[in-house]
Structure 1
Amino acid sequence: MREILRLINSHHPLSEVLQVIARQAKEWLRADSTMIRQTFIEENRVRTVAQCNLPPDFEVIAETPFYQGLTDQALMDGDVVIIEDVPAVYTPRLARPETLKDPLLAAGLAATVKYYHSLLKTPLFIRGQIFGAITFHFARPRKFSDEDIQLARMLSDQTALAIENARLFELAERRHRVAESLREILSLLNTDRPLDEILHAIVSQAQQLLGAKAVAIHRLDAEKKLLIPEASLGLSSDYVSTIHLPLGQGALGIAVQKGIPVQVNDTTAVFSGKTVRSSEGEAIRLNDDLVSKLQQYADRYGAVLAVPMTIKSQTYGGLALYYSHPRTFSPEEVDLAVSYADQASLAIENARLFQVAERRRRV
């Protein structure tokens, strides 16, 4: 417990914190292995984020759907899940039709039956929201005492504190990097570098700092009511040259029209012609021509975060952040993107004013 308490007051990365907890959890309950799984409810998936002494068979189920079965529901309700005879519970499930149709479910059940006889799962809650669960595996039969359960719950409570501290530290570090990055961009403004070079610096920094696979700044053509890529990184030339978003369409079109950030946690449906919705449940409209183009190009993204950009109360355009896989954006991440877009807008305006001043000086 001392090591976890030290983690609570430390500035270690979240991945390192989780790995230490997995090791400590194994020792605390004298388990044969432990596994920490993070739950992404909106994305309907669960992912292993740390483990200790887990057999290689479990690698195939490192990420699985969130099945929302009885076990998952119990964890969501804050209950500890105990299975003292794994073969008796899991073996019949292996023969069920739904299991036979789901290779990941079958692999997880089979691996658990192969190596373990008993297990205990305890939920992890952070600020009242489910983060995931810690699973303790035991190769031999184990009768869990009240002391075991109390110990597991105590470990979960301390783990939640350590995770929250690590996440807050990472957020503070990211904010610091954003501030440093913006200082670098602003330092370019007193030079004679062209606007397109400034724009490239902005999208490059945004990609690194906000963890996106691709980034684009779109300028609004007020007459045509189109959002046209002005600078991008990670997008194909076909995408940049032909995907011009009508105002009000797509995540970015809605963000710019309404003046608010719009997040789409799962954009994959657009590639199969299905309706895509924002995190608020609003349908993201795209005309048939745009859908057809998106389905043809190699660009494939799982999530999008779009933020409007304004200069002196006038709409300039928007910043679009594209991510490889479906994901949920935390309020802190959205705030960071908004802050970055605001400062980037200021940098763009300063660069434009500098260019105007230079042209006047030369006349």
Structure 2
Amino acid sequence: MSHDQSEMGGPTLEFEALLRHFVERAETLMGSQARMRDLIRVNNDLTSNLDLPTVLRRIVEIGLELIQARYGAMGVIGDERRLEQFIHVGMDDETVSQIAHLPEGRGLLGALIDDPRPVRLASIAADDRSSGFPAHHPPMESFIGVPIRVRDRVFGNLYLTDSRNGRFSADDEELAQALAGTAGIAIENARLFEDSEYRARWSTALVEVSRRLMSADEGDELDVLVERLRHLAQADLVSVALVPADDEGTIVVDRAVGLGADSLVKMSFPVGDTVAAEPLWTGEAAIITSLADHASHGFEEQSMLGNAMIIPFTTGARTIGILCVARAQDRPPFAPRDVDMGVSFAGHVSLALDRTEVRVTRRRMALLEDRSRIARDLHDHVIQRLFATGLNLQATAVGADPETAAKIMAQIGEIDAAITQIRQSIFAIRRDPDTTSSSLRARILEIVDRSDGQLPHRPRVTFLGPVDLLADAGLTDDVSAALTEALANTVRHARATRVDITVSAVAGQVTIEVVDDGIGIGDVDALSGLANLRDRAAARGGTFEALPAASGGTRVSWSVPV
């Protein structure tokens, strides 16, 4: 080699090395520029999609594409800092079906949840935090994990494994973090959109239900409301349970739709033994993690229920019941926004119950008005005509022969008895059939009604004096018991075809007189029922008699001072 050639060799080699360096830098810059263009494209792709499940899967797919990984996944972190969802890309369906279970947030994935900082590994197996793979899981070597933050909260983590370039570089880690930042914005946008759609659906439903409740005059809207709530909340069971006003220690299931509804309706439970106890006492809604834990034996269908909302509702100042909205154990749990919407629906449940009660009251008042009109017509027209007929007959009897006059007077007696019976009927039809009256007159008529079918003819009842005004609740109970005992003895022993009952309130005494046309008094001492009547009268300082009637049969008289 000549001297000139040796002098030229050094500079040539240095130039070629420098040129290669510039080429490599240029390729690196071009690659970075291409990745930046891809990242900008990804930004547009992710932020333009507002469907949350689609966004989550698309983030993983883009991560595989940008960072050249074979497998990718996203773990969504739940309330207990464990994986609530695990979206994976790269494994075929057959491989997934052979794996016993997907990751639950332990080992290396759990470490990233507990300490949300980027992790890049050349070998997963070499890391102390790795817990290995389950059977049939494909082998994975290199690993990148980066947290995805939504505002100040870690939403989840992006996991990428098995780099197609052999291992992940620092640039790959930086790009993964940039993708995670974009993912956080996309997830937040999708969440806000989904939340607005969710609230719009509930608000529309609430408006429709309100309009229906306000416009409907007939029909039970509570069934429609409960079914609508089940659809909106995507629930498996919705039930309405009420606390009776006269027994606040008990709760009764009034309505239910969904899983096991038929076995629940009309069931009653002690409040203290149910999950409704605390919400009823505090007036605050609660979320139950597993309703199955509270399902008693015999409620197998309810044992499949998991997360549930227990929402109390009120009428005025009183908490009258609870609304229970439940999902099956394998369904997503309810969120606080679900409770907010459920509370709004619970208010409509109260309104539906109030309107149902108003309709029942209105129908009852209409029925009572009709009955009052009929009673008024009977009193003003029928009784007056009978009374006038009786007077005319009485005048005719004055000029008739004795035999004819006796027959006429007998018919006048029958007319008087008919007038008395019509007056009793007038009182009966004026009573509210949907309520139990506590008046003495009403109790007497109820007792007589119960004796129908036990005697050949219905007993004839006559009231004299202000019996309802003089009898308080205690005396009403005693008088009712005395009449029940007297009638029972008549039915069992007298063999009577006719029974006349007179209840009077005269001169500070309330008296019951029962007269029958039976076989007579018989052995008074053998009748234990008569002894009960005597004791009951003596306890109030009154008197009791059981004597033969003037026309045959028996006359029983029970009288106490007021």
TM-score bracket, normalised by the shorter chain, equals 0.7 to 0.9
How far does residue 61 in structure 1 lie from its aligned partner after superposition?
5.8
Q: CA 1:93–1:173 in structure 2 vs 1: closer, same or farther (change >3 Å)?
A: closer
Amino acid at match of 1:21: I
Query: What runs of 5+ residues in structure 1 fail to find an aligned partner?
Result: 95-104, 271-285
Contact 2:60 2:89 in 1 (8 A): yes
| 1:175-186 mapped onto 2 (5 Å cutoff) | 175-186=199-210
Residue of structure 2 in register with 1:193 after alignment: 218
Query: Aligned match of 1:266 in 276, 290, 303?
Result: 290
Q: CA 1:178–1:356 in structure 2 vs 1: closer, same or farther (change >3 Å)?
A: farther
Residue 159 of structure 1 pairs with residue 187 of structure 2 = no
Amino acid at match of 2:218: R
Residue 55 of structure 1 pairs with residue 92 of structure 2 = yes
| 1:115-134 mapped onto 2 (5 Å cutoff) | 116-134=140-158
How far does residue 171 in structure 1 lie from its aligned partner after superposition?
1.8
| 1:1-363 mapped onto 2 (5 Å cutoff) | 1-2=39-40, 5-6=43-44, 10=48, 12-42=50-80, 44-48=82-86, 50-56=87-93, 57-59=95-97, 64=102, 66-86=104-124, 88=126, 93-94=131-132, 106-107=134-135, 110-113=136-139, 116-138=140-162, 140=164, 142-189=166-213, 190-195=215-220, 198-224=221-247, 225-237=249-261, 239-241=263-265, 244-268=268-292, 270=293, 291-294=296-299, 296-297=300-301, 299-325=303-329, 327-361=332-366, 363=369
How far does residue 248 in structure 1 lie from its aligned partner after superposition?
4.1
Helix, strand or coil at the partner of 1:153: helix
How far does residue 234 in structure 1 lie from its aligned partner after superposition?
1.0
Structure 2: distance between partners of 1:4 and 1:318: 48
Structure 1: distance between partners of 2:46 and 2:283: 39
Q: CA 1:63–1:267 in structure 2 vs 1: closer, same or farther (change >3 Å)?
A: farther
Helix, strand or coil at the partner of 2:304: coil
Structure 2: distance between partners of 1:148 and 1:62: 31
How far does residue 310 in structure 1 lie from its aligned partner after superposition?
1.4
Amino acid at match of 1:171: D
Structure 1: distance between partners of 2:45 and 2:346: 34
How far does residue 240 in structure 1 lie from its aligned partner after superposition?
0.4
Amino acid at match of 2:336: P
Structure 1: distance between partners of 2:98 and 2:291: 25
Contact 1:38 1:131 in 2 (8 A): yes
Structure 2: distance between partners of 1:155 and 1:43: 22
Contact 2:289 2:306 in 1 (8 A): yes
Amino acid at match of 1:55: D
Structure 2: distance between partners of 1:51 and 1:67: 14
How far does residue 242 in structure 1 lie from its aligned partner after superposition?
7.1
318-327 vs 232-241, greater mean Cα deviation? 232-241
Contact 2:285 2:339 in 1 (8 A): yes
How far does residue 160 in structure 1 lie from its aligned partner after superposition?
1.7
Q: CA 1:59–1:337 in structure 2 vs 1: closer, same or farther (change >3 Å)?
A: farther
5-14 vs 29-38, greater mean Cα deviation? 5-14
- Deviation by residue 1:57-90 (Cα, 9 ceiling, x = unmatched): 2356696573443541333321123232245559
341-350 vs 257-266, greater mean Cα deviation? 341-350
Residue of structure 2 in register with 1:279 after alignment: none
Amino acid at match of 1:344: V
- Deviation by residue 1:203-226 (Cα, 9 ceiling, x = unmatched): 211111112111111112243322
Equivalent residue pairs, number? 325
TM-score normalized with structure 1 length: 0.77
How far does residue 174 in structure 1 lie from its aligned partner after superposition?
1.6
Structure 2: distance between partners of 1:149 and 1:335: 41
Helix, strand or coil at the partner of 1:37: strand
Contact 2:259 2:301 in 1 (8 A): no
The alignment's C-alpha RMSD in Å is 3.1
Contact 1:262 1:305 in 2 (8 A): yes
Q: CA 1:299–1:242 in structure 2 vs 1: closer, same or farther (change >3 Å)?
A: farther
Structure 2: distance between partners of 1:219 and 1:263: 19
Structure 2: distance between partners of 1:252 and 1:65: 36
Contact 1:216 1:320 in 2 (8 A): yes
Residue of structure 1 in register with 2:374 after alignment: none
How far does residue 301 in structure 1 lie from its aligned partner after superposition?
0.7
Amino acid at match of 1:186: S
Structure 2: distance between partners of 1:43 and 1:240: 36
Helix, strand or coil at the partner of 2:276: helix
Query: What runs of 5+ residues in structure 2 fail to find an aligned partner?
Result: 1-38, 370-562
* Higher relative contact order structure (alpha carbons within 8 Å, sequence separation ≥ 6): 1
Structure 2: distance between partners of 1:3 and 1:203: 47
How far does residue 297 in structure 1 lie from its aligned partner after superposition?
4.7
Helix, strand or coil at the partner of 1:183: helix
Q: CA 1:8–1:136 in structure 2 vs 1: closer, same or farther (change >3 Å)?
A: closer
- Deviation by residue 1:281-329 (Cα, 9 ceiling, x = unmatched): xxxxx6xxx63344x4564111111111112232121111111126543
Helix, strand or coil at the partner of 2:50: coil
Contact 1:42 1:328 in 2 (8 A): no
Structure 1: distance between partners of 2:82 and 2:313: 32
Contact 1:76 1:123 in 2 (8 A): no
Residue of structure 2 in register with 1:99 after alignment: none
How far does residue 361 in structure 1 lie from its aligned partner after superposition?
4.5
Structure 2: distance between partners of 1:311 and 1:266: 29
